[in-house]
Homo-oligomer: A and B are copies of this chain.
């Protein structure tokens, strides 16, 4: 049920929660209980500007973890509000830290997970820095971002789906991409 490396944790280290849309998982300043893993649904992490405006710090979706840093700090630094009803796993802080200290493989795997995420996010940031839609779509494709459907792909790379379709057409017409099927494209091999 849990993704690696959390699958080695004993049953006492986590519990499954079912929450409705709009419910609060934790609030800024609450003592940190642990990391969370979303099975289904979505959660918004919110902070509040001094003027009172709400700032969405992050939006977590299915199969994602969030609040990882809470392992190493004492309190949550933002609010977590359920966007959609969700089933999620609370990975309790103390048992996870205990595992971290007693099990070097777990420690390594956890660190490796974070390091890989850092890498992935950097790639996405670099991608979003590309101004031209065509170049961005091409790069994203070459980097393997197109896994599901085009609309999801478009959202991930920060373009409207129309702009994405257009860029794809242009790239095919200009010979940089090959269309291998409905909604399927691949980078042309030299």
Contacts and interface: CB of A to CB of B under 8 A. Distances in A.
Interface in A81-136: 100-101, 104, 107-108, 110-112, 114-119, 121-126, 128-129
A61 interface: no
Interface stretch (A7-15, A68-76, A161-169): A68-76
Contacts of A68: 115, 118-119
A142 interface: yes
Contacts of A111: 71-72, 100, 107, 110-111, 114
Contacts of A47: 142-143
Interface string A26-62: 0000000000000000000001011111011111000
A126 B155 CA distance: 11
B112 A107 contact: no
Contacts of A58: 122-123, 126
- Main DSSP-derived SS at the A contact region: helix
Contacts of A138: 49, 53
- Which of A47, A112, A188 gathers most chain B CB within 10 Å? A112
B121 A118 contact: yes
A147 interface: no
A121 B125 contact: yes
